[in-house]
Chains A and B, each alone.
Chain A
Amino acid sequence: MNCADAQDLVDAYFDAELDLVRSLEIERHVQHCPSCAEILRRHRSLRDQMQSSNELYHRAPESLRQAIISSKPINGQALYQPAKDRAGKPIALFRWGVGLAAAIVATATLTWYFATAGAFEAPQNAVVQELISDHVRSLLADHLTDVVSSDQHTVKPWFTGKLDFSPPRVQDLAESGYTLAGGRLDYVQNRPAAALVYRHGKHIINVFVWPASDKSTAPGPAATQQRGYNLLNWTSQGMNWWIVSDAAAADLQRLADLLRQPAAGAASEPEK
């Protein structure tokens, strides 16, 4: 692929909108083209900044939320005249009538929604958002796996040379219901990460692994839920492990337990 064509497609590649064939061509081109590699780096940096900033995504103020629920205009006169009924009175946004139960349900729904949405603040939230995006993108455009194999002896060596750290132990857990589908190189927080892909029933599970930046070991797996996805994360032996899927949290917990078991025959190392 020549550089002019690549530059036309590099944004689409960056947005996971390209088919597999052209994605591979872009990846090959980028390996030896500093200009295009630079474009991708800048795009990734821009995206990281935009998605990690708390001030950029403007959440609706509480007053607006209440106004929508209760259907009262908040700034006095509405910007546009709302429809008027026959008596000339403005029609409220929503007709609640005697639907008090509906109002309670709506409030409860919103309370639940915002309670879970606000459960985890930045900076960890930035990682969560990025991992969910990585997970979702991996499901599009046939980009799930770079190496397709259920053989751990194929997947682990594939990572060698592509990661700037030793690849994690790769296990096929098909006997327990988690089939290794393959591996993929991904990026998290602007650095390469290994993505191990498992299938569990109808669900795709991504397991992201990359070196932890601090020395602490997080206590046992921590569960998160955002945007309808379940996540589970822990730190072990200097590596961050994150599981992302739309599968049930209990299924992810079971996978985490399996992944965290010491290798058979190896002396179990104490968690530092």
Chain B
Amino acid sequence: MHQTDQRTRFEQAVLPHLDAAYNLARWLCHDGHDAQDIVQESYLRAWRGFEGFRGGDARCWLLTVVRNTSYTWLARNRTRNQAMTPNIELDELGSDDFDPQTPLLRQADHELLHQALDALPVEYREVVILRELEELSYKQISEVAQLPIGTVMSRLARARKRLEALLAAQPPQHKETVSE
């Protein structure tokens, strides 16, 4: 009887967050099949650890498991986790001076955005995904990623700067011609 109650509580707590779990795993490990394995493993670990879950934010609790499982996977599969090479070296970008003349991010270039995110180091990508796609607060991100809030803030700021610079610095043929 207790087992059934536990199962029901577990389902209600974590099944609604399956998309969030998959999204995070997918962004951390790049590959859909690996992400599925990571999610299955995460649910298994979450089930095993469910006794220790005292209620509260089930999504963050599950995402912490997914994040840890993903990093364990990454550590074992380093060679498969080469960041896709962006067209532009990251070091060349990220000037701290914003020139108001450079165009704002262009609309709807989703593939480019996807590549730009994939090009970020995983520690930067992680906080952007959790903030912008999962909409976690700084406190929640600090719990899931096990980082001090100050580190969350600085990584997020730097990640945004890199993304915005990457997306604004287009090869000339992709730029919309600006009539003078």
Contact = CB atoms under 8 A, between A and B. Distances in A.
Interface of A: 11-12, 15, 17, 34-35, 38-39, 41-43, 45-47, 49-61, 63-65, 67-69, 73-75, 78-80, 82-83, 93-97, 99, 102, 105-106, 109-110, 113, 133, 136, 140
B144 interface: no
A99 B2 CA distance: 12
Interface string B13-51: 001101101110011000011011111110110011000
B110 interface: yes
Contacts of B156: 11, 15
Contacts of A68: 15, 18, 39-40, 43
B49 to A, nearest CB: 12
Contacts of A53: 108, 110, 113-114
Contacts of B27: 58
Interface of B: 3-4, 7-8, 10-12, 15-16, 18-19, 21-23, 26-27, 32-33, 35-41, 43-44, 47-48, 73, 97-98, 100, 104-105, 107-111, 113-114, 117, 128, 131-133, 135, 137-138, 153, 156-157, 160, 163-164, 167-168
Given A17-B137, A45-B105, A102-B8, 9 more contacts: A42-B160, A49-B109, A58-B23, A59-B22, A60-B21, A75-B33, A79-B41, A93-B40, A93-B44
Nearest to B33: A75
A49 B98 contact: no
A73 B40 contact: yes
A75 B37 contact: yes
Given A38-B100, A46-B160, A51-B133, A59 B19 contact: yes
A59 B137 CA distance: 21
Contacts of B131: 15
A133 B135 contact: yes
B38 to A, nearest CB: 7
Nearest to A67: B40
A102 to B, nearest CB: 6
A79 B133 contact: no
A38 B23 contact: no
14 contacts: A17-B138, A42-B160, A42-B168, A49-B107, A52-B108, A55-B110, A57-B133, A64-B36, A67-B40, A75-B33, A94-B47, A95-B7, A102-B7, A136-B135
Given A38-B100, A42-B164, A57-B133, A49 B33 contact: no
Contact of A94 (B7, B26, B128, B137): B7
Given A51-B132, A55-B110, A67-B40, A12 B138 contact: yes
Contact of A64 (B7, B39, B168): B39
Given A11-B157, A75-B36, A50 B132 contact: yes
B108 A49 contact: yes
Nearest to B105: A45
Contacts of A105: 8
A56 B164 CA distance: 16
Contacts of B36: 61, 63-64, 67, 74-75
Nearest to B134: A57
Given A47-B132, A56-B113, A41 B104 contact: yes
Given A56-B114, A79-B41, A102-B4, A42 B104 contact: yes
A177 B52 CA distance: 44
B22 A58 contact: yes
Given A34-B100, A47-B132, A78-B41, A57 B160 contact: no
B138 A15 contact: yes
Given A56-B113, A59-B23, A79-B38, A46 B7 contact: no
Given A43-B160, A46-B160, A51-B132, A106 B11 contact: yes
A58 to B, nearest CB: 4
A41 B160 CA distance: 12
B133 A64 contact: no
B26 A78 contact: no
Contacts of A99: 4, 7
